[in-house]
Structure 1
Amino acid sequence: MTDVPDYGKTFALWRAGAGTTWQGYTCHGFVEGLADGRLPQKAFLHYLVQDYVFLVHFSRAWALGVVKSETLGEMKTCATTVDALVNHEMSLHVSTCAAASISEEALFAAAEEVENLAYTRYVLDAGVSGDFLDLMAALAPCVFGYGEIGARLAKTAAPDTPYGEWISTYGGPDYQDVCRTVGAMIDGAVQRRLGAEPADAARWPQLQVRFTRATALEVGFWDMGLRGA
């Protein structure tokens, strides 16, 4: 895949460093099922319920980013992302599940699958035990991966796929703007802490491991979704 959205220098480096793990995430069978419409609705709803619970913890992790920030700009981006998650992205899950008679109360109370627990606690631990860059490296695969997937599927998905609303949410201009804003913020944060050539810094391999591990956990999340079929 050559048509990759530009979400900044840091993302490009982390994406390349993740290698085949990144491709396994963004071109997973679950994703391709969204594109051609063959994904069973039962699997999609199972994923949405779990993703709603995931976003609760993901929002908490971004709120932790406010605490770990060193600049007002970092604080503003983290706070804006929390607002986008809590007040906008989660509404997609609520409306789609409501059509299938799954209430928001049931979503919030849903028992977490093991893959969900592993991923969300990994991200939160990165922020609690590490610094701002550790947290961003763990958060980035979800933000940028969904942006890349959405941008690709917006161009290639079957016009009659029943998952068009999901695709338009992540492939649309609002979410793409979020990815570019977060990417610029991370670029600034990395340069501020590691210098103009961050890949040469002693800490870089550790951050790459954070990003790649979180990407692998995204693969597990898709696997979990398919298991719900």
Structure 2
Amino acid sequence: MSADLFARLKEAAHPHWQAYVEHDFVRRLAAGRLPNAAFRFYLAQDYLFLIQFARAQALAVYKGRTLAEMRASKSALAAILDVELGLHVRLAAEWGLTPADLESAPEHAATVAYTRFVLDAGMAGDLLDLRVALAPCVLGYAEIAARIALEVRARPGHPQGAWVEDYAGEAYQAVAEAARAELGRLAEGALSPPRLRQLERLFAKACDLEAGFWQMALDAAAKDEP
């Protein structure tokens, strides 16, 4: 079971997982019907999320049990600070958002809720707790993008096509597979039933908070409608 802890967590949290990966935000995005205002709002909040994600990777270095785990987390931290944030800034620029816009955007309550939940899970628990709390984000984006990529590609000029391709591409899919394998390694050995239930609850809550992150963008766009 521990070899594919992710599959076990998804099964246990099935309704929570489905509500996240099949959220109306995702369906509208795939169909090319997502309001521009919703995606623009999402981009600003996702930038703020990435900053907290970097802090989570820094915490993962501290929580690492081995040098290999610490080095892997250090590499992930560097990738966010030195590569991903820059890529995000360039994508946001295509949507009319400047670096100043991103940095000055106030954190929405949904952004605070999920990111601080992740950090708290890592502070209170071990590296496995932290990785389980992050799994819906890291692995969910890979699954969502792979599922909707064909639909998006069938619509030339799709406004979010580049975003989907980033997560559906080989590089990110490899990141997701490595994260899935890490969950299995961290769970090696028999997890006690109480420990497994605790991880299942953690994963389900993270799925709910991810769904809330999507809903945040739709709600913000709806407020801008005349």
Q: Same fold (TM over 0.5)?
A: yes
Q: Which runs of 5+ in 1 are unaligned?
A: 1-7
AA aligned to 1:174 is A
Which contiguous aligned blocks of 4+ residues in structure 1 show a shift greater than 6 angstroms?
A: none
Q: Deviations over 1:139-173 (max 9, x none)?
A: 11100000101111123324232111010000000
Provide the rounded CA distance (Å) in 1 between the counterparts of 2:174 and 2:71: 15
**What is the TM-score normalised by the length of structure 1?**
0.89
Question: Is 1:159 equivalent to 2:151 in the alignment?
Answer: no
Q: Deviations over 1:103-122 (max 9, x none)?
A: 21321221011111111111
Provide the rounded CA distance (Å) in 2 between the counterparts of 1:92 and 1:42: 20
Question: CA shift at 1:84, angstroms?
Answer: 2.7
Provide the rounded CA distance (Å) in 2 between the counterparts of 1:171 and 1:86: 21
Q: Deviations over 1:56-102 (max 9, x none)?
A: 00110111011001012222222222223233333342112223332
Equivalent of 1:144 in 139, 143, 150? 139
- % of aligned pairs identical? 44
- Worse-matched range after superposition: 53-62 or 75-84: 75-84
Q: Show the counterpart of 2:7.
A: 12
Question: Is 1:100 equivalent to 2:98 in the alignment?
Answer: no
Provide the rounded CA distance (Å) in 2 between the counterparts of 1:151 and 1:86: 25
Provide the rounded CA distance (Å) in 1 between the counterparts of 2:86 and 2:219: 24
Question: Is 1:218 equivalent to 2:210 in the alignment?
Answer: yes
AA aligned to 1:179 is A
Give the 3-state SS of the residue equivalent to 1:44 in structure 2. helix
Q: Show the counterpart of 1:227.
A: 219
Q: Does the Cα contact within 8 Å between 1:147 and 1:176 map onto a contact in 2?
A: yes
How many aligned residue pairs are there? 217
Q: Does the Cα contact within 8 Å between 1:53 and 1:112 map onto a contact in 2?
A: yes
AA aligned to 2:82 is N
